[in-house]
Amino acid sequence: MSNKLLYSGKAKDIFSTDDEQVILARYKDQATAFNGVKKEQIAGKGVLNNQISSFIFEKLNAAGVATHFIEKVSDTDQLNKKVEIIPLEVVLRNYTAGSFSKRFGVEEGIALETPIVEFYYKNDDLDDPFINDEHVKFLKIASDQEIAFLKEETRRINELLSDWFRQIGLKLIDFKLEFGFDKDGKIILADEFSPDNCRLWDAEYHHMDKDVFRRGLGELTDVYQVVWEKLQAIK
Ligand code: UDP
């Protein structure tokens, strides 16, 4: 197999494969926060996130969500359909937390009557700014119809995910998704779903996600391991 490194990200390296339409994502033992300002090597993180994300994407595929996920091929690696990533971080919030709590001066953990979807422009140089639908159109990232699809699809995915995490005693506070255009121009879910890009609280309000690293609350891999073990009980 001719695996050429195409892109090296903060949490994953992306390689080409013999198939034009398929890429190999290799999960790294690296944690970053605050746009890369805080950075650490954490042994075992790549394996855990590949396990967790593969598990979730398999379930999403089975539930009829169109995703890039093909299969997990080793501890750290998975095969994905090649997509052209849409440069948006699509964030959905079920409860207040993080930047939302800061922006509006509200405490964390307040249930939102209707989940809120937000867009951030994926651009490290600009620090991923918060943008609205009209900015998305100005930047020619997506049309009205595509914007509507991204929001609806994210809400649909939230219903599935919230239910699965509820089954294992975890509250899905918020999460970030990325989408891409496949070879036919169809928008499909891409990137990953792991405790790196969501917030999960247990019944005692313990943070079971990357906030453990961001806020220095303990061992990240201990917490991710618990999430992984709990996931096995989802129906
Ligand atoms: N998030 C992410 N990547 C980012 C920024 C945020 O995966 O570059 C996730 C984060 O883990 C959380 C959600 O998006 O689950 C909302 O994050 P928020 O805007 O509150 O920012 P934070 O305070 O986490 O930086």
Decide: 10 and 36 in contact? Cβ < 8 Å. Answer: yes
Mutate which of 39, 89, 91 to test ligand 1's pocket (most atoms within 8 Å of Cβ)?
Answer: 91
Q: In this structure, which residue's CA is closest to atom 15 in ligand 1?
A: 198
pLDDT at 1: 56
Decide: 220 and 42 in contact? Cβ < 8 Å. Answer: yes
Work out the number of other CB atoms within 10 angstroms of the CB of residue 97.
Answer: 21
Work out the number of other CB atoms within 10 angstroms of the CB of residue 3.
Answer: 14
Helices 144-167 and 45-62, packing angle to 10 deg: 110
pLDDT at 40: 97
Q: In this structure, which residue's CA is closest to atom 10 in ligand 1?
A: 197
pLDDT at 219: 97
Tell me the CA–centroid distance for residue 74 and ligand 1, in Å.
28
| One pLDDT digit (tens) per residue for the chain, 235 residues | 568 999 999 999 999 999 999 999 999 999 999 988 999 999 999 999 999 999 999 999 999 999 999 999 999 999 999 999 999 999 999 999 999 999 999 999 999 999 999 999 999 999 999 999 999 999 999 999 999 999 999 999 999 999 999 999 999 999 999 999 999 999 999 999 999 999 999 999 999 999 999 999 999 999 999 999 999 999 8
Q: What pLDDT digit, counting tens, does each position of 126-181 carry?
A: 999 999 999 999 999 999 999 999 999 999 999 999 999 999 999 999 999 999 99
Indicate which atom in ligand 1 lies nearest the CA of residue 197: 7
DSSP letters, 44-76, are THHHHHHHHHHHHHHHHHHTT--BSEEEE-SSS
Decide: 208 and 218 in contact? Cβ < 8 Å. Answer: no
pLDDT at 235: 86
Q: pTM value?
A: 0.97
Q: In this structure, which residue's CA is closest to atom 14 in ligand 1?
A: 176
Ligand 1 interacting residues, C-beta cut-off 6 A = 89, 91, 97-100, 128, 174-176, 197-199, 210
Decide: 71 and 56 in contact? Cβ < 8 Å. Answer: no
Q: In this structure, which residue's CA is closest to atom 13 in ligand 1?
A: 175
Tell me the CA–centroid distance for residue 3 and ligand 1, in Å.
31
What is the Cβ-side half-sphere exposure of residue 175, based on CA atoms within 13 angstroms? 22
Rounded distance between C-alpha atoms, residue 50 and residue 56, angstroms = 10
Indicate which atom in ligand 1 lies nearest the CA of residue 199: 15
Q: In this structure, which residue's CA is closest to atom 19 in ligand 1?
A: 99
Rounded distance between C-alpha atoms, residue 153 and residue 159, angstroms = 10
Indicate which atom in ligand 1 lies nearest the CA of residue 174: 15
Residues facing 69 on adjacent strands: 80
